Structure 1
Amino acid sequence: MAEKTIRIGTRDSELALWQAHTVEKKLNDLGYKTSIVAVKSQGDIILDKPLYELGITGIFTKTLDIAMINGDIDIAVHSMKDVPTALPKGIVQGAVLERANVLDILVHKGNPDFENPSTIATGSLRRQALWYNKYPNHTVVDLRGNVNTRMQKLQDNNWDGAVFAAAGLERINLKPENYINLDWMIPAPAQGAMLVVAMENDNYTLDALSQLNHIETEICTYIERQFLRTLEGGCTAPIGALVTYNEDEDTLHFQGVLLSVDGKQKLEINKTVDISEWKKLGFNSAQEILNNGGTELMQKIKESLKK
């Protein structure tokens, strides 16, 4: 097959472009030809509705999926935490890049005193529920848009702070001085990782992408997403998961959480297993949560989100 130019589809936000250019550079370094194709996303256009109300878990990924199925682009680069656990027919995971910072951070307006009622902004149900669980007397308001838009909205409003993924801000040098690491907040499944997808019949591109794959990140994010999928969360239920690999002992540590939307109920799991158990770790952990009240809680969440 003749060498082809791999067309990289991306949304036109600063972070999405950064991710696309990062993958482009890695492919160029391996000798592949590439071009960047910007595609506008519905998620960037409809800014007045919370994401989970739009009924689409993969709103930012959907436009790129369609462009790929239509043959306009060859690959798409996503923040892995935004990608639905079931990929569309014909599209497959080509590479998971080495994970960056997994933490959520609070960007604040200076000396936050959380003992007093505060107003915190986030568009994520998981962050909202975890925040209410820790600070029940606070108010959490919705915050939408790409990273730059959200940063601007924080400046323009009288909120005390807003929650961001550290990785996104670090990638485009937007992380300010006044932030706090929220190390008590279990991140979204696959937070900090980037996923590159391609068409399953495109062997040339898949062969190129396989050279970018980071196996440790692939395994950890696989487990976290399996946990999410088994709980049937899509991207809408307040679900967090983080797997860390301990090289010295060859073990995996799993932390998972499912909360009610108001944060009053919290089901948690923490376990360390041998690396050989990785394939079912996410599934088994989710089953434990479902058997300990998770099934009823998921039902309640689905009903409350319908209202």
Structure 2
Amino acid sequence: MSKRLRIGTRDSELALWQARRVQSLLQAGGQDAELMPVKSTGDLILDKPLYELGITGIFTKTLDVALLRKDIDLAVHSMKDVPTALPKGIVQAAVLKRANPLDILVHKGLDFLNAEGVVATGSLRRKAQWLHRYPLHEIVDLRGNVNTRMQKLADHGWDAAIFAAAGLERIGLLPDQFSTLQWMLPAPAQGAMMVVVREGDTHALEALSGLNDPETERCTAVEREFLRELEGGCTAPIGALAVEEQGRIRFRGGLFSLDGADKVLVEKDAKADAIAGFGRQCAREILDSGGGAILAAVKKSLSR
């Protein structure tokens, strides 16, 4: 019997769903695996917006430490939460087939769209894009796991809240009243799951190789390269989505001011087998088209 692999995961319902998905795929391939849930800093500190915490990889850091200490053998992450530069000694082992990458608006009716309204989100990216489209609306901070955020929406007098579609779909929490935000650029790698292992762990790497989806891996690589070149981390209002169609990668990306007043967009495509540097090229186009000034203003504001 092969060595049992210990799967590290956050202990929220969504994170556990993702970890169990990896566990079931491994077991289907004959690999024994067990779950080891832990709490991350991002789950424990709920009274501050994420950008105020100033920690890179706030949802992944605890698992990174456990992995390097050999307390676990692999970690399962929502890929959008993973810093573009992995810690030394940790490598990407697999990117699973992507789910719905878009954002959705969970609402109590849509009459507020053409009037004053209150929308909840803890994401600067979502806030900036929403205010660009609806500048008269108020944005309130919303933190916590998916279940907590859904309950907060129900308990407060807010008109709506913005969620990642994939999260609600995965754990069966998609409500009756929602709208898909086709116009909103998602977070880079939103809807994708990444599995990481210790560098040099050949057993874990081999066991996970069959779980990797090459198309998702290519598209998310472009999005994350775009994010890395803009040096946005997980705080600046940056959106990106790459889609592979008929052998080509079609990419849309954007950088927004914090108040949503200004934005710079890029839309380009490249051959799917020639994407090295493509995300970087798209980012440079953003920076050269006024994005540099927007990014500088964002960084100055967040550093106060």
Tell me, yes or no, if structure 1 residue 260 matches structure 2 residue 257: yes
User: SS of 2:51's equivalent?
Assistant: helix
Distance 2:111 2:12 in 1: 30
For 1:130 and 1:111, the matched residues in 2 are separated by 18
Equivalent residue for 1:302, pick from 284, 299, 302: 299
SS in 2 for 1:60: coil
Q: Tell me the residue number matched to 1:16.
A: 15
1:99-119 superposed Cα distances (whole Å, 9 cap, x missing partner): 000110000012343110110
The answer as to 2:235 corresponding to 1:224 is no
What's the CA shift for 1:252? 1.3
Which one of 282, 287, 291 corresponds to residue 285 of structure 1? Answer: 282
CA positional deviation for 1:4: 0.9
2: CA distance, partners of 1:112 / 1:143 = 22
Do 2:121 and 2:139's aligned partners in 1 also have CA atoms closer than 8 Å? yes
Please report the TM-score for the alignment, with normalisation by the length of structure 2.
0.98
Alpha-carbon distance, 1:36 to partner:
0.6
Checking the alignment, whether the CA contact within 8 Å between 1:267 and 1:294 is kept in structure 2 is yes
Amino acid at match of 1:118: G
CA distance in 1, matches of 2:233, 2:32: 35
CA contact (8 A) 1:6 1:35 kept: yes
Q: 1:179 and 1:190 mapped to 2: Cα distance?
A: 22
User: For 1:83-108, what per-residue CA distance to the aligned partner results, in whole angstroms no more than 9, with x for missing partners?
Assistant: 11011110000000000001100000
Alpha carbons 2:6, 2:36 under 8 Å: kept: yes
Contact 2:112–2:159 (8 Å) recurs in 1: no
Long gaps (5+) in structure 1:
none
Give the structure-1-normalised TM-score. 0.97
Say which SS state the counterpart of residue 205 (structure 1) adopts.
helix
Question: Is the CA contact (8 Å cut-off) linking 1:112 and 1:160 kept in structure 2?
Answer: no
2:152 alignment counterpart: 153
* Structure 2, unpaired ranges of 5+: none
Counterpart of 2:29?
30
Q: Tell me, yes or no, if structure 1 residue 209 matches structure 2 residue 208.
A: yes
Aligned residues: 304
Deviation at 1:276, TM superposition (A): 3.6
Where does residue 188 of structure 2 map in the other structure?
Answer: 189
| Percent identity of paired positions between Structure 1 and Structure 2 | 60
Equivalent pair of 1:57/1:236 in contact (CA under 8 Å):
no
| Residues 275-300 of structure 1: CA deviation (Å, up to 9, x unaligned) | 24311110000001111111221111
**Per-residue Cα deviation, 1:174-225 (whole angstroms, up to 9, x for no partner):** 0001000000001100010000000011110011111100000000000000
Partner of 2:62: 63
State the distance in 2 between where 1:97 and 1:125 align.
26
Return the alpha-carbon distance in structure 2 between the equivalents of residues 124 and 145 of structure 1: 12
Tell me what 1:76 maps to: 75
Tell me how far apart the structure 1 counterparts of residues 243 and 84 of structure 2 sit (CA, whole Å).
20
Matched to 1:97, the amino acid is L
Matches within 5 A, 1:157-168: 157-168=156-167
Aligned equivalents of 1:112, 1:188: Cα separation in 2: 27
Runs of 4+ in structure 1 deviating by more than 6 angstroms, as ranges, are none
Give the match's secondary structure for 1:143. coil
Amino acid at match of 2:66: A
